[in-house]
Amino acid sequence: MDALNGLLYGLSVACGASNLLLLLGGCLLGTLVGVLPGLGPVGAISILLPLTFQLPPVGAVIMLAGIYNGAMYGGSTTSILINVPGEAASVVTCLDGYRMAQKGQAGQALGIAVFGSFIAGTLGLVGLQIAAGPLSALALKFGPPEYFAVILLGFTFIVYLAQRSMIKAVLMALTGILLSLVGLDPITAEQRLTFGALHLFEGLNVVPLAIGLFGLAEVFGNLEKTASAKILTVNIRSLFPGRRQWLAAKWAIVRGSVIGFLMGILPGGGPVLSTFIAYGVEKRVSRHPEKFGQGAIEGVAAPEAANNAAASTSFIPLLTLGIPPNVVLAVLFGAFLIHGVTPGPLLMTQHPEIFWGVIASMYLGNVMLLILNLPFIPLWVQVLRIPDRILYPLIILFCLVGAYSISNSVFDIGVMVLFGVIGYFLKKFDYEAAPLILGFVLGPMFEVNLRRSLLMSQGSFGIFAERPIALAAFAVCAVLILLPIAKRIRKR
């Protein structure tokens, strides 16, 4: 099935009445959770996952894609109105978005964020649609050595692009791999790190881990604060940017889309990093860099475009190789597995309704969010006015039910609470939780492919040099590892 026919088929799946309703519900719920400060797409997907359990796989996956898209859109609202990012990818939007709101241009800032997100998200989807087929075909030629090398490359990128210390990122990724090893060995069925506990035989589940690290830990972090964020009293006169603002923002949207497109595919890159790069590039190419941070509309348009383009293209490695490139997609990967869908090169042929249905639903979701977000902005502002003392207990309740309903186990609630505490301490000690989740999700694939490669080669690491794809991946890894070392030596 070529890309155009695939998309038409996907549209026929996604346009079914029930799937459209699920998509709409997903977009609205995702935006609602995305709007809440601190709870980004990871929290949104983890907490809302139980709502999809009774649905057929296609409907569930479509709803999850809607939640993801909605959360990405919703994050910018809090950045602009209260200077608190709804999720990590909206941090940069605070810089100019909040300043625009202070100047009485909150409507235009929210408007350009929505339009920029729509344009970039759609461009990203076109890329996803075109690249998915050839990449899936290539991935079918992968054996264990290629998979191992590509996953190792992913880990290297995650560490290389870490926002804080690289050593800490490596330690987090390794801790994630170690946690993924708890349970029965996938090859020999021997018990590992279970300490005889029956609940640990099947290993830990990614969802309680993610809810704990990204949901409960966030609540703990907010509960201890002695002051709460103040919502700016804004008079939103018009959500449509003026002609001059459009002219100023149009190239920022294009550049942001291109950066987001490329960063989305990179493992470890994703929406968060793309926003920082897009903002930096925009400031560098601007004739008035001094206006950045003072309410420049390009400073809102570029990062918002980048984060939504990256959100679309980050599906490319997930759907074609079965490798989630960032933490949100790692949780989504776990959610797909819960619904009996294994992302990877065979998804396109074995479940074309899901593969093309997801892509088509993301196109439709972008249109829905564009139409709904503008009139709904006053409602999201009201959501932000819910007092913390009511909001946080409710988020805790959703976290508890979300963790329990994965396997109807009270043990999972305990795991979630434990990882909530761990996530809180990780923040205190300046560790990022994202590499841990990625290590946890990629760990089993990493182990199985390494052991199978060694079995195939009877213990020789030469097998990785004999395969061109594996060799190329190792070469890139070596460059990424050597680059910072060379930089440090040159500094001395």
Partner 1 sequence: MNRRDRASSIFFLALASIVLVLSVWQGIGALGNPGAWFMPFVTCALMIFFALAGLSAACRKGAGAVGVVEAWRPVRWSKNAAVLAVLAVYVALLPYAGFLIATFLLMSVLFRLNALTVKAALLAACLSSGLAYGLFYLLLKTPLPRGIWGF
Q: Interface with partner 1 by CB under 8 A: which residues? A: 50-51, 53-54, 165, 167-168, 170-171, 174-175, 177-178, 181, 185, 187-188, 190, 192-193, 220, 223-226, 388-390, 392-394, 396-397, 400-401, 404-405, 408, 410, 413-414, 417, 421, 424, 428-431, 447, 450-451, 454-455, 458-459
Q: How far is the CB of 288 from partner 1 (least distance, A)?
A: 36
| Residue nearer to partner 1 on the CB measure, 171 or 472 | 171
| Residue nearer to partner 1 on the CB measure, 110 or 437 | 437
Q: How far is the CB of 457 from partner 1 (least distance, A)?
A: 8
Which structure tokens are listed for 27?
Answer: 């977009």
Question: Do the beta carbons of residue 155 and residue 447 sit within 8 Å?
Answer: no
- For residues 161 and 42, give the distance between their C-alpha atoms in angstroms, rounded to a whole number: 19
| Residue nearer to partner 1 on the CB measure, 8 or 486 | 486
Residue spans of alpha helices (H) in 140-242 = 144-160, 166-180, 206-210, 217-223
Give one DSSP letter per residue of 176-205, joined into a string.
HHHHHT-EE-TTT--EES-TT-GGGTT---
| Residue nearer to partner 1 on the CB measure, 53 or 201 | 53
| Residue nearer to partner 1 on the CB measure, 1 or 401 | 401
Q: How far is the CB of 291 from partner 1 (least distance, A)?
A: 34
**Which one-letter amino acid corresponds to residue 102?**
Q
Q: How far is the CB of 454 from partner 1 (least distance, A)?
A: 6
| Residue nearer to partner 1 on the CB measure, 87 or 447 | 447
Q: How far is the CB of 238 from partner 1 (least distance, A)?
A: 37
Neighbour tally for 484: CB within 10 Å: 12
| Residue nearer to partner 1 on the CB measure, 226 or 235 | 226
Q: How far is the CB of 33 from partner 1 (least distance, A)?
A: 15
Question: Do the beta carbons of residue 271 and residue 310 sit within 8 Å?
Answer: yes
Phi-psi label, residue 185: left if phi above 0, alpha if psi -120 to 50, beta otherwise: beta
- E strand or H helix that includes residue 377: helix 352-384
Question: Do the beta carbons of residue 6 and residue 320 sit within 8 Å?
Answer: no
Per-residue DSSP letter, 288 = -
Question: Do the beta carbons of residue 57 and residue 22 sit within 8 Å?
Answer: no
| Residue nearer to partner 1 on the CB measure, 291 or 451 | 451
Kindly provide the b/e burial profile for residues 228-263, where b requires at least 16 CB atoms within 10 angstroms of the residue's own CB: eeeeeebebeebebeeebbebbeebbbbbbbbbbbb
C-alpha closest to that of 157 among 475, 450, 481: 481
| Residue nearer to partner 1 on the CB measure, 190 or 290 | 190
Which structure tokens are listed for 197?
Answer: 């506990």
Neighbour tally for 130: CB within 10 Å: 13
| Residue nearer to partner 1 on the CB measure, 96 or 432 | 432
Q: How far is the CB of 372 from partner 1 (least distance, A)?
A: 22
**Which one-letter amino acid corresponds to residue 490?**
R
Q: How far is the CB of 124 from partner 1 (least distance, A)?
A: 32
Residue 145 Cα to chain centre, angstroms: 27
CA neighbours closer than 13 Å in the CB half-sphere of residue 125: 25
- For residues 468 and 474, give the distance between their C-alpha atoms in angstroms, rounded to a whole number: 10
Q: How far is the CB of 174 from partner 1 (least distance, A)?
A: 5
Q: How far is the CB of 421 from partner 1 (least distance, A)?
A: 6
